[in-house]
């Protein structure tokens, strides 16, 4: 028996999502169904799917995020901004702010017009200057976990970088086994300014934007090039987002991601 689901389609800087309201816990879908909903030919089409669920650990709500392949992931920065604005829409746009639970920790959000600023969980597992063989080349790779794992490579010619090939090579590299990593390619474009392209784990391709990847690249630009907060990050979809942070003796604190979270359309779909 088919079930009809009501959904919203949203995007954050081109990173697009199917949004489902599951506050009543009535939505029961498996990973294969999620993958079909995210399929751009046979479903709604998206980089991932987010569910709004009741809190279990002190938040206002819980965010559950699944990649386009159906697998659940710890966190998604662009998705988190869309999640916050979607929850506000469910409350007639009357919320002043929000804190919500993710597998990566508690996230808070502020509403700045049509844009959202989220305060990320503290990053960890920073490693610099790893030399790794990838696709026949020796790459200098930096990595950090900003809710999910990210590898970062600085390049001179971002436009002609083989993001799909090198990205897949890094994503499945033994250095990041067993769960793999997202892969980001970065070009310094000015003081406190970078452009990036990202290959996303779970999508298994380049996406127009990746929020946790932007944060990873900004923090590593601080480590390597002395960038100061905020860092402007231009993504493949054409948007420029702002990454804020504080560096302390204990690591990075008050890491923020500020950018768009746009509604595209709403509809119903049979699953």
Q: Which residues are known to be catalytic?
A: 76, 210
The answer to whether 141 and 152 have CB atoms below 8 angstroms apart is yes
Nearest to 118 by CA among 105, 131, 132: 105
* Residue recorded with tokens 């990053």: 123
Helix, strand or coil for residue 99?
Answer: strand
Sign of CA dihedral 72, 75, 77, 80: positive
Count Cα neighbours of 226 within 13 Å in the Cβ-side half-sphere.
Answer: 1
| Strand ranges in the chain using DSSP code E only, listed in sequence order | 4-12, 15-21, 48-53, 61-67, 72-73, 97-102, 105-112, 115-119, 124-134, 137-145, 149-154, 182-190, 193-200, 205-207, 231-234, 240-248, 251-260, 262-270
Give the pair of three-digit tokens for residue 5.
């689901």
Q: How far apart are CA 5 and CA 83, in angstroms?
A: 17
In the three-class reduction of DSSP (H, G, I as helix; E, B as strand; rest coil), residue 126 is classed as strand
Cα–Cα distance between 140 and 227 in angstroms, integer? 19
Q: Is the four-CA dihedral 17, 23, 26, 31 of positive or negative sign? A: positive
């Amino acid at each position: 028996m088919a079930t009809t689901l009501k959904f919203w389609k949203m995007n954050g800087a081109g990173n697009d999502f199917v949004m489902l309201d599951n506050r009543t816990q009535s939505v029961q879908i498996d990973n294969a169904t999620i993958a079909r909903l995210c399929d751009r030919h046979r479903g709604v089409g998206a980089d991932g799917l987010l569910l709004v669920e009741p809190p279990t650990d002190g938040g206002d709500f819980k965010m559950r995020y699944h990649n386009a392949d159906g697998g659940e992931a710890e966190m998604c920065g662009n998705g988190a901004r869309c999640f916050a604005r979607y929850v506000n829409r469910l409350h007639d746009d009357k919320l002043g702010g929000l804190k919500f639970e993710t597998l990566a920790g508690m996230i808070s959000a502020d509403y700045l017009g049509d844009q959202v600023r989220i305060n990320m969980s503290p990053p960890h597992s920073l490693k610099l200057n790893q030399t790794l063989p990838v696709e026949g080349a020796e790459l200098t790779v930096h990595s950090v976990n900003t809710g999910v794992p990210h590898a970062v490579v600085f390049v001179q010619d971002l436009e002609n970088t083989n993001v799909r090939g090198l990205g897949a090579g890094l994503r499945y590299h033994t250095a990041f086994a067993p769960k793999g990593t997202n892969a980001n390619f970065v070009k310094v474009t000015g003081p406190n300014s970078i452009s990036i392209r990202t290959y996303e784990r779970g999508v298994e391709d380049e996406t127009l934007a990746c929020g946790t990847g932007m944060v990873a690249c900004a923090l590593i630009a601080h480590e390597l090039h002395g960038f100061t907060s905020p860092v402007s990050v231009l993504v493949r979809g054409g948007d420029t987002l702002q990454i804020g942070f504080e560096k302390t003796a204990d690591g990075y604190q008050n890491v923020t991601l500020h950018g768009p979270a746009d509604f595209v359309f709403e509809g119903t779909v049979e699953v």
